[in-house]
Chain A
Amino acid sequence: MADVFENLEQELNDAEFAKGYGSEVAKNNIGMTLFKIRKCLGLTQKQLSKMLGISQPYIAKLESGEANPTIGAAGELMAILGFILVTDAAPIKPVPSIIRKPSVVSGEKSYSYTHAGSFAIQPGTAETVSQSVQLPKEQEKLCYSSSQCYVIGGSAG
């Protein structure tokens, strides 16, 4: 059985595909970040829609990565919930399987990392990404950045 990401490497040679893929991953990451914040706050989509002043179906579209909010709008939504949106970039080519396998545990919190992402940090926690994620040295060398993680209420990304 072939790993699907072997095909991805070839598809990425097509610039149109790469643009579309980048857009989809960004929307999915923002959506998942919003979903994790909502769960962390113990809110339903309906409660969240009242707080944010947007419809529940739109919340559902945002969370599933099927809406395309501006970066500013995503930042506004998260600010209302007490978070700031932090973005980062990473190589689009699939990461070698050696560093796609493990998850990372730091202190009481458990993290996993992806190779493209956005995440949110609650203001005032004085928590930096380098404090949050301690990658094994071997993996740190392979990773372009150690900040592709979700930092939401201590739940694994």
Chain B
Amino acid sequence: MWTVKNYERPGGRCPVKDWIDSQDTKTKASIYGRFRQLENEDCQNLINIQILVIIRDKHGKPAFPGFYELRHRTYKWRIALYYDKGKNSILLLHGWGKESKGQNAELEKSRTLLSEYLGRRANDG
């Protein structure tokens, strides 16, 4: 069982929460439905049913252990997240949908947020 959390940036902004709040009702419902699965299901099961995908670098290798993309094909949205196994939590980093200007740019934003979180966590000890 995992605790699913919004990543909060220094200064208090939550990028995923802000993005979810801007979505229509049905899309929002599909997002929370997926969060319920994240909370309850084993990561490997979600990979097997293809709603969780490993984020890879340009060489095709996993970009970072625990760094994934949650997907919904019907509503066409994606959320980059990080399984923080040490804290038994899943951190939602960045979300995007049909309005996106490109997968690479979104993944770059996600990587930046992950680096920011990991840096802060290392400083916190």
Contact = CB atoms under 8 A, between A and B. Distances in A.
Interface stretch (B40-48, B60-68, B107-115): B40-48
A127 B11 CA distance: 53
B41 A32 contact: yes
B106 interface: no
B5 A2 contact: yes
Interface string B14-44: 1001001000011011101111110111100
Contacts of A2: 5-6, 8, 14, 17
A112 B8 contact: no
Interface in A9-57: 11, 14, 16-17, 19-21, 23-25, 27-28, 31-32, 35-36, 39
B49 interface: yes
Nearest to A61: B73
> How many B residues are at the interface, by size bracket?
35 or more
Given A21-B29, A112-B40, A4 B92 contact: yes
Interface stretch (A81-89, A97-105, A134-142): A97-105
9 nearest interchain CB pairs? A20-B29, A24-B33, A1-B5, A21-B29, A63-B49, A114-B40, A4-B4, A66-B74, A64-B49
26 contacts: A2-B6, A2-B14, A3-B3, A4-B4, A4-B5, A4-B35, A7-B17, A11-B32, A17-B28, A17-B29, A20-B28, A21-B32, A28-B33, A32-B37, A32-B41, A32-B49, A35-B45, A39-B48, A64-B50, A97-B3, A102-B1, A103-B1, A112-B1, A116-B36, A157-B40, A157-B41
Interface of B: 1, 3-8, 14, 17, 20, 25-26, 28-30, 32-37, 39-42, 45, 48-51, 72-74, 89, 91-92
